[in-house]
Amino acid sequence: MNERTARRATLRWLTAALVATLAACGGSGGGNGAVWTPVQNSTPADPGQIPMPLAAIQIRTTSNRADLVSGGDVTLEVVLPSGAQASTLKVAVGGRDVSDAFATAADGRITGYVSGLVDGENVVSASASGARAASLAVTNHPRGGPVLSGPQITPFFCATPQPQAATSSTPATAPSGLGTVAVDAQCNIATEFKLYYKSTAANCALGLPDPFPAVNFAATTPPALPAPNSNNCFKPYDPAAPRPGDLATTTTDAGATVPFIVRVERGTLNRGIYDIATLFDPTRDWTARSPQPQWSGKVYYPFGADTGQPRRQVRPATNWPTGADVIGRGYLWVANSMTDSGANSNRLVMAETVMMMKEHIAETYGPIRYTIATGCSGGAINSNVANSLAPGLLDGVIVTCTFPDQETTGIEVSDCAWLVEAYAKPAWSALMAGLTPAQIDARKGAINGHPDASACNAWFNAFGGVSKPGIYTTRFVDASGNIATGASTNNCQLPASLVYSPTSNPTGARCSGWDWSASIFGKTADGSRALITRDNEGVQYGLSALLSGAISAEEFVTINEIVGGSNGDYEAQPARSVADSGALGIAYRSGLVASGRQMAGTAMIDLRGYDDSSMPTPGGASSAYPVHHIWRSFSMRERLDKSQGDHGNHVMWRFGRNGLSPSPALQREALDTLDAWLAAVGADTGSAPLAAKVRSHKPAGASDFCLLSSDATQSTRITDMAVCEQDPFLKPSRSPRQVAGGPLAEDILKCALKPMDITRYHGLLTASQQARLAAVFPNGVCDWTRPGIGQQDAISPAFVSREGLRALPPAPASRTN
């Protein structure tokens, strides 16, 4: 399907959904694991009409909104009015009788699971004696997607049962972990189920019992599949064989002790490969209407780290055996590679995939009580942004090494890359002549906002090329502090023949994050590339370092003269970078810039360790890539304060030892605390807004504390934040933009400009330096007291239509026939 056809199709189903809503007299979508709960409508009886007409049946989807269904199946509830005869209920889909799929549950609700939906509109109708018949338009989307995110990017290569080597026109394929090949271009592969049991063996390893190799994407020979570790904790389980003597037991949150047998469902959805792992009793059936009792109804969703946009289908980055603790407690553990940041940096596709996975769970496993997400780094971005894009998608998050979102994280990445390149230029080197390495490092740290230069060097080394759309040679700061070159690569992980080149292949695949998300941002007028938000016009690098005396006036003027920016292909240029204006509003409206207002109803626990520098923390080794800075947690909190007036849904537990990794005990406590928090919120059936419920039901243990770096046992909790701030491994640093005067929220992609005010420099600049600085900023400097260009409230949840990004309309509702 080409882009225009896909967008027209999207518009058609949304128009149909909107028409159904406007004509509605029933309700659809909502509870029992649905992503978004629509407003339920009703038609009051007309007291002037005699005799009174029969009341109408209502039809509701319960696994997702009626216009967002995917995969060809849906769970429905039929609500009969008083006086209607349930025994006469007839339900049909597109004229096909599906009445046998419906039954009355113990709570009196009439529910059913219906499969065989066609792509597009499916009319569900219901009739019964003593009631007016009704119908509901259910719009089904392909299992391979998309639902909300617009046309899928191509080319995209499917995984294979065994890894295959790269050729001149195809990349190396990743092993799928499935026994059959993809059946279509959306990489749909038949679902498989396997049983495993947890062994009682001491010191066993929580590795995959079906391991897969790391794939060298340029290799000409496929890697061999490794043999399973003989000391794996999880081993294949055969229900027809005698029970293994080393079969462990586990006690669930409900207090039931059961054999530790796990069923793993592996399949594909939205072009990603997913794993679902649950405790399972092989002697019993499991249906959505009658789940096995060891499942608590809770979903635990880990998001993978890193960030990238490879054009290949892979397995999830997080392996289900590492979730043994939560699985043993009765959680359903789920991961999909398209919700791993390293495999997919299109955050709308990520949120869409979470929605589709939750729908699948609700339709095949049963109603979801609540969903807890977790992740570090890029995984934390997904944990945070999912609820900014689609409030209510996740009920609670436990994040480590958090970033609020991708778009504003990219500000520091680009600033650091430009600054590192500037520090290597002759003009800066001349100023540093005669200074010691420590003195030079201190100046770089002051401009960067970091304790030293290592953090910006790390951004440069790890992600300096992530915005490159074509083939490029990697550049990195070596051990001597010089910029060196490395291998040739591309961010699509594709053969060179398929990748964009401005000269030899201008129509090839573009591999930047913005191009991967072109369906959201749109493209330039000539269609050559996606619109971008990267911008540093008006940014005065090192401003507060100048005012504090950390750098000289000449150093301040020089760094701003030489820092430059990048063009649309992320090639260095002397001029500053200027964002495409259309991209800025989209980044805010969509929720891609994490919105405190959108996230106010999410219970959040932030486990924050130290990664602001390569210097080692007490009790831990030094970080090779110190980019997960403490100030990011406070940035997220600042956004909540700005939008809500408080951060009552955000808890921060800081620890000053062992780098980024919280102890297993702290992680377990965070899960226990969040579990109790969400249970209390879920039990509140009052009419208060969700954000108010989250704040009023916060457990006593959900409060800020820190563990000082001097505390070798990490056992004394400090609740006086002033004491915490005195610890060098707990105190937040800043970013280059904050040093330039920007806000802690770091949510301004492009600043508004104002004329340069010479009094702002407190007489530190000579007349010549003033003139040089004015030449750098002919249009003015950043006015941080004003909102950013295009900065506005999010309209999310949103969808990509032919006209661009649009707010999702009200949910379709059933209508009286």
Model confidence, pTM: 0.93
Beta bridge partners of 134: 126, 816
- Of 220-229, 242-251, 426-435, 774-783, which gets the smallest average pLDDT? 220-229
**pLDDT bucket at 33, cuts 50 / 70 / 90:** very low
Residues 104, 86 contacting (CB under 8 angstroms): yes
Question: What single-letter DSSP state applies at residue 361?
Answer: H
Would you state the structure tokens that stand for residue 647, as one six-digit string? Answer: 């951060």
How many Å apart are CA 325 and CA 250, to the nearest integer?
9
pLDDT over 80 (residue 26)? no
Mean pLDDT (the chain) is: 92
**pLDDT bucket at 19, cuts 50 / 70 / 90:** very low
Of 346, 338, 321, the residue nearest 232 (C-alpha):
321
CA distance to 340, 655, 725, 798, per residue, from 661 (Å):
19, 9, 20, 35
pLDDT in tens, 395-414: 999 999 999 999 999 999 99
Of 604, 717, 610, the residue nearest 670 (C-alpha):
604
pLDDT in tens, 111-151: 999 999 999 999 999 999 999 999 999 999 999 999 999 99
pLDDT in tens, 599-608: 999 999 999 9
Question: What single-letter DSSP state applies at residue 761?
Answer: G
pLDDT over 60 (residue 20)? no
Superfamily for 3-147+801-816?
Immunoglobulins (2.60.40.10)
The torsion angles phi and psi of 75, rounded to 5 degrees, stand at -105, 140
How do beta strands 272-279 and 705-707 pair? unpaired
pLDDT over 70 (residue 16)? no
How do beta strands 261-269 and 272-279 pair? antiparallel
pLDDT in tens, 314-336: 999 999 999 999 999 999 999 99
Residue-level pLDDT at 229: 74
Question: What single-letter DSSP state applies at residue 162?
Answer: S
Would you state the structure tokens that stand for residue 245, as one six-digit string? Answer: 């003597």
Cβ contacts of residue 492 below 8 Å, gap of 6+? 309, 310, 311, 498, 499, 509, 511
pLDDT over 60 (residue 42)? no
**pLDDT bucket at 530, cuts 50 / 70 / 90:** very high
Average pLDDT over residues 604-629: 93
Residue-level pLDDT at 41: 32
- Of 11-20, 131-140, 545-554, 769-778, which gets the smallest average pLDDT? 11-20
The residue extents of the domains of the chain are 3-147+801-816, 192-368, 438-579+740-782
Of 560, 573, 541, 567, the residue nearest 427 (C-alpha):
560
Instruction: Assess whether the previous peptide bond of 574 is cis (omega < 30° from 0).
Output: no
Residues 501, 508 contacting (CB under 8 angstroms): yes
Question: 5-37 b/e with 16+ CB inside 10 Å = b?
Answer: ebbebbeebbebbeebbeebbbbbbbebbbbbe
Residue-level pLDDT at 409: 98
Residue-level pLDDT at 423: 98
Average pLDDT over residues 76-80: 98
Residue-level pLDDT at 106: 87
pLDDT in tens, 557-576: 999 999 999 999 999 999 99
Question: What single-letter DSSP state applies at residue 292?
Answer: -
Residue-level pLDDT at 803: 87
Residue-level pLDDT at 45: 43
pLDDT over 90 (residue 723)? yes
Question: What is the per-residue DSSP string for 192-250?
Answer: EEEEEEEB--TT-B---SS--PPP-TT-SSPPPPPPPPTTBSEEE--TTSPPPTTB-EE
How many Å apart are CA 66 and CA 553, to the nearest integer?
62
Residue-level pLDDT at 222: 67
Would you state the structure tokens that stand for residue 783, as one six-digit string? Answer: 């006015």
Residue-level pLDDT at 211: 77
pLDDT in tens, 680-701: 999 999 999 999 999 999 999 9
pLDDT in tens, 259-312: 999 999 999 999 999 999 999 999 999 999 999 999 999 999 999 999 999 999
Residue-level pLDDT at 358: 98
Residue-level pLDDT at 663: 95
